[in-house]
Amino acid sequence: MFRKRTTLSWLVLSTAAACVLTPGMVRAQDHASSPASSSFASSSFVSSSAGETPDAAAPATSSTVLKPDAMKVLAADPWEYGPFFNGGFGAGNRDTDTFLSVGLHVGKVITDPHLSGLLRGQFEYAGDLMPWWQGRTPKFMRANCYGVPGHVDCTSLYPTGGNYNGVSVTPIILRWNFVGSGRQTKIVPFVQGAGGLIWTNHKFPPVGPYQTPGHQGTSVFNFTPQFGVGAHYFIKPHQSLTVQANAVHISSASLGDSNPGVNASVQFIIGYTWWK
């Protein structure tokens, strides 16, 4: 009888202990074998040992955009070239004259930066070729006169003036590009002095209406000493828009019978430039 009671008591205690311990053991086993928990623990350990968070280690998704840096371009003493359009007008007694041309500009930066402060810059030698140049003047009537002893004969009046077409070349352009402190910028201002030559299909500028006897007019060749200011605005790492204003003197240097010239004209240039 005693032995049966003891055996029964032992079975009750064993069953109770199993009910208490089994849920805790199951939860511990499930937690230890969970793939998500293992992955999280592993990634946390790797991130901690690398000293960075998962967000910081993520690769960048945006592409890098190169910003134009004029100073970096000029530091390589580059060549520059490109087309341009020129337009302007006369001043003083030639304020009714107008000028147009299209051409190609080529230049080479040939020095490192010199001077200091606002004057710090680089020297450039350049040239322009304009396969089409046009000067336009008011039309008027003129005559050619010839002298004989005691008498002057003149031809009938005929129209002159209008459009004078030709070719122009400016083989000497001495330019100073201002680079300042050398910090990154998109704008490079410059000043320049230049000299060139124009050939026209008729003698330019016209004179009249009556010349002195034997006067054969001006010349088809004229010289163009000039001074200008301008700037390059970089829109891409090696490409820029170029704007410029020039004061141009047009003179035949007395190659003809007279040299009225165009004492002053103001001409503006807009162009597109590549840098290599």
Q: Could you report the per-residue pLDDT of 38-64, keeping only the tens digit for each?
A: 444 444 443 444 444 444 444 444 445
- Please give the single-letter amino acid code of residue 230: G
Q: Could you report the per-residue pLDDT of 58-112, keeping only the tens digit for each?
A: 444 444 555 688 999 999 999 999 999 999 999 998 999 999 999 999 999 999 9
From residue 171, give the alpha-carbon distance in Å to each of 107, 175, 233, 248, 255. 10, 13, 24, 15, 20
pLDDT of residue 38: 45
- Tell me the HSE value of 87 on the side-chain side, using a 13 A CA sphere: 3
Average pLDDT of the segment spanning 191-219: 86
Run of H or E residues at 70: helix 70-74
Residue 161's contacts (CB-CB under 8 Å, 6 or more residues apart) are 137, 138, 139, 140, 206
**Residue 200 and residue 220 in contact, taking contact as beta carbons nearer than 8 Å:** yes
Q: Residue 239: is its pLDDT beyond 50?
A: yes
pLDDT of residue 207: 83
Higher per-residue confidence, 215 vs 54: 215
Q: Could you report the per-residue pLDDT of 114-161, keeping only the tens digit for each?
A: 999 999 999 999 999 999 999 999 998 888 887 777 788 888 888 889
Rounded Cα distance, 230 and 165, in Å: 26
Higher per-residue confidence, 66 vs 219: 219
pLDDT of residue 187: 96
Q: Residue 199: is its pLDDT beyond 50?
A: yes
- Please give the single-letter amino acid code of residue 29: Q
pTM to 2 decimals?
0.73
pLDDT of residue 45: 41
